Chain A
Amino acid sequence: MAEHTKSKFNPSCHQEIITMQNITFSYEQKQVITDLNFSIKERDFVGLIGSNGAGKTTLLRMIVGLLKPEHGSISLFGEPIGKFKHWERIGYVPQKNSFNPLFPVTVREVILSGLYGRSKLFSRISKADLVKAEDAMHAMQIEDLSNKRIGQLSGGQQQRVFLARALINNPALLILDEPTVGIDVETQEGFFHMIKHMHQHHNITFLMVSHDMDMVRSYLGQEPLQQNGKLKFYVKHSHELENCVENDLTHSLKGLRQSMNQRAPVVI
């Protein structure tokens, strides 16, 4: 299964990961997105910026199939979204406030849930799954929190847990929905450093919704590449990076922590 999906992704860094064509969407009478054309290529880093009501979350929900565009089409990894089956290639980090802090669930249980997709519908959690969870926790430096209840953690630690959950499947595309909301500035910087590092050293394509202009601009440039209504797209293209790299689970997760530690310690 894994071999099959891997072979479909060529390492030339030119595959279109997300293709949006003539997308229009409106709530009631208010048109939020009008005739949007945008594509994200392999290993691009796209920052999606906009004020409240600009349609950031709407667009994100359309890309992951939770909303249908009124007009236009969306393709994921070259396949129309209706036929797309390889959801395990997409890692998703929700907004921090999307769960109840009282929810009785441990860090390990949350991280394992990243594996619960269509292909695992009738199978049990295997030893290999548990190893993957350990690797993901190790990469995010949260292994000592594995049996803690998620609500007991700080905002920054929770964000790492959700990032670990998104990484457990070795995703080719990572979607982050305002990952730094409600986290103090120092932790935000550590988190952003980690994200940048992953982009530079691992073959992951990023789509990040953010309201934090400073951080986005410092990495993705001062001017948006494209604008649609109040939505602004800031992009760092893959060709600005050194070269294409392998997207290998064991390498990326195990190597992640090592290479991050070498560069600069991450502040939790």
Chain B
Amino acid sequence: MDILSTEFFQRALIGGVLIGVTAPLMGLFLVLRRLAMIGDTLAHVSIAGVALGFLIGVYPIAMGLVFALAASFAIEKLRRAYKTYAELSIAIIMSGGVALASLLFTLGKGFNVNVTSYLFGSIYTLDNTDLIVIGAVTVIVLFMVKLHFKELFLLTFDEDAAAVNGLPVRYFNIMISVLTALVISASIKIVGALLVSALLTIPAACSLIIARSFKQSIITVVVIAELAVIGGLMAAGVWNLAPGASVVLLLILILVLLLAMKRGFKI
């Protein structure tokens, strides 16, 4: 139990709790717009940015953010080129990102240790800079979502109606892309690029089962993500498990329980 009172664990907990608010929030918008795979794609591409950051000696998360932003715009462009096969653009960008990442990682052979920490997360190595970045991202995301809650809802529910109402749809689409890229690059170190997607999508999957209204679904995703983050980190600390994996598996456990409960109620 001693680990729970250590400084690195408390930093991990703070970082986890902050990401536990923003990641499922952005994830809900993505899932409802049927863009669930975008989170995974951006995370894979930002790994390439992290690798480049190590290679040229720039703060890796910042480079990861730049790459994630570039990828989100590339996806939008490709989506327009292949209108009816939009998911194709996601597959292309994702494999491109992984290829670029492995290329950059092999160029700089010296930092192999760090590769796994960004793929699977290394929440115990969060330093103060990371916490400040995560905190800033949280403030920006919460501010923008609160400011434009109505518009983001309408855009997500009925994009055509949003346009007919005279809303600047393009501006809001870009805003969602930028906020998602911010959240993903900030959460890579916490759950890892391979697992970020879980924190974005599984809370949303849970809310589809239990929430009746959009407001409820917002509350649901945050509560479930926080349960999983705090519970998963505690379990990882006490039993010495991989933190990122514990959080994700706990999320899946919650989802399975909710599905089972729903079935139980129906029968």
Q: Which residues of A contact B (CB under 8 A)?
A: 64-66, 85, 87-88, 90, 92, 94, 98-100, 102-106, 109-110, 113-114, 116-118, 120-122, 125, 147-149, 165, 175
Contacts and interface: CB of A to CB of B under 8 A. Distances in A.
Interface stretch (B51-59, B90-98, B161-169): B161-169
A117 B165 contact: yes
Given A99-B158, A109-B153, A104 B163 contact: no
B14 interface: no
B34 to A, nearest CB: 8
A116 B151 contact: yes
13 contacts: A66-B160, A90-B164, A94-B161, A98-B160, A99-B158, A102-B208, A106-B213, A110-B157, A116-B150, A116-B165, A117-B167, A122-B147, A149-B213
Contact of B213 (A65, A102, A104, A116): A104
The 3 A-B pairs of least Cβ separation, nearest first, read A87-B166, A104-B211, A117-B165
Contact of B160 (A85, A94, A113, A120): A94
Interface stretch (B101-109, B173-181, B214-222, B246-254): B214-222
Contacts of A122: 147
Contacts of B153: 105, 109, 113, 116
A98 B150 contact: no
A100 B217 CA distance: 15
A22 B241 CA distance: 69
Contact of B161 (A65, A113, A121): A113
B263 interface: no
Given A113-B154, A116-B162, A149-B213, 19 more contacts: A64-B163, A66-B160, A87-B164, A92-B160, A92-B164, A92-B165, A98-B158, A99-B157, A103-B157, A104-B213, A106-B213, A106-B214, A109-B153, A113-B150, A117-B165, A118-B166, A118-B167, A120-B150, A175-B164
B61 to A, nearest CB: 31
Given A85-B166, A102-B208, A104-B212, A125 B150 contact: yes
B32 interface: yes
A105 B213 contact: yes
B166 A117 contact: yes
Interface residues on B, range: 20 to 34
A105 B212 CA distance: 6
Contact of B215 (A109, A117, A118): A109
B165 A105 contact: no
A110 B164 CA distance: 15
Contacts of B185: none
Contacts of A109: 153, 213-215
B161 A104 contact: no
A116 B147 contact: no
Contacts of B22: none
A66 B158 contact: no
Contact of A116 (B32, B167, B208, B211): B167
Contacts of A113: 150, 153-154, 157-158, 161
B216 A116 contact: no
Interface in B140-164: 147-148, 150-151, 153-154, 157-158, 160-164
A213 to B, nearest CB: 25
Interface in B63-109: none
Given A104-B207, A113-B158, A116-B151, A66 B163 contact: yes
A104 B208 contact: yes
Nearest to B216: A104
A106 B161 CA distance: 17
B166 to A, nearest CB: 3
A88 B165 contact: yes
Contacts of A175: 164
A87 B165 contact: yes
Contacts of B168: 118
Contacts of B214: 104-106, 109
Given A64-B164, A122-B147, A147-B212, A104 B158 contact: no
A177 B207 CA distance: 31
A30 B37 CA distance: 34
Contacts of A64: 160, 163-164
Nearest to A124: B150
* Central interface residue in A64, A104, A116, A165, by most chain B CB within 10 Å: A104
* Central interface residue in A85, A88, A121, by most chain B CB within 10 Å: A121
Contacts of B150: 113, 116, 120, 125
A116 B172 CA distance: 13
B83 to A, nearest CB: 11
B166 A103 contact: no
* Central interface residue in B147, B148, B163, by most chain A CB within 10 Å: B163
Interface in B175-232: 207-208, 211-217
A118 B216 contact: no
Contacts of B158: 94, 98-99, 113
